[in-house]
């Protein structure tokens, strides 16, 4: 199965390396899409090495083919995953904004392609009515969610907002793909 793995600007982005590695070991063809903010936390080289595929991080990266890379990836996807997903990216997806390859791919997905979002952010941001409204909109559009989990947060707070454990994300991916 072809899994598109979006990584956004959260401290939890480093866990995407483990997620990508586990998915490859399960036999999936994983393509990483890294936002500019995500690249502040994990490098494209790390993800490229683990997935054995080029990493898409800019629409300017799409010059290899006559068909835009974000359209090609959307057409080939068995599953679209964003882990970690920031409030910003959740807002872009919920409102149909496409300022980067990740959100452009989401908008280009065939309707039957499932999407899984694993939020990671400060608990106040997660609980904010705007974020909750965006999550409900995405759920209404058919998106699946895993997490966020509770515990110690990178910002020094304790509570909800942690990225779900990688094993839980992998299990949810398996459940979605089994349908």
Catalytic one of 1, 130, 154, 155: 155
pLDDT in tens, 68-112: 667 889 999 999 999 999 999 999 999 999 999 999 999 999 999
Is position 143 annotated as part of the catalytic site? no
pLDDT in tens, 115-136: 999 999 999 999 999 999 999 9
Selecting from 3.40.50.1950, 3.90.1150.10, 3.40.50.2000, 3.90.180.10, what CATH number does the domain 2-18+26-143+160-178 have?
3.40.50.1950
The pTM is what?
Answer: 0.93
DSSP letter string over the chain?
-EEEEEE-SSGGGGHHHHHHHHHHHTT-EEEEEE-TTGGGTS-HHHHHHHHTSPPB--GGG--SSSS-HHHHHHHH-SEEEEEEE-HHHHHHHHTT--SSHHHHHHHHS-TTS-EEEEE-S-HHHHHSHHHHHHHHHHHHTT-EE---EEEE-TTS-EEEEEPPPHHHHHHHHHHHHH-
* 62 vs 45 pLDDT, higher one: 45
């Amino acid at each position: 199965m072809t899994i598109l793995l979006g990584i956004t600007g959260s401290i939890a982005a480093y866990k995407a390396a483990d997620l990508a590695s586990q998915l490859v070991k399960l036999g999936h063809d994983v393509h990483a899409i890294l936002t500019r903010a995500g690249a502040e936390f994990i490098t494209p080289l790390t993800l490229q090495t683990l997935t054995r595929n080029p990493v898409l991080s800019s629409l300017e990266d799409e010059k290899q083919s006559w068909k835009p890379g974000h359209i090609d990836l959307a057409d080939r996807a068995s599953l679209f995953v964003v882990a970690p997903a920031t409030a910003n990216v959740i807002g872009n997806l919920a409102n149909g904004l496409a300022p980067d390859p990740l959100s452009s791919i989401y908008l280009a997905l065939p309707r039957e392609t499932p999407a899984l979002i694993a939020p990671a952010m400060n608990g106040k941001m997660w609980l904010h009515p705007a974020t909750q409204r965006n999550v409900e909109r995405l759920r209404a559009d058919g998106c699946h969610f895993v997490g966020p989990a509770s515990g110690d947060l990178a910002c020094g707070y304790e509570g909800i907002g942690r990225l779900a454990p990688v094993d839980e994300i992998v299990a949810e991916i398996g459940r979605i793909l089994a349908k």
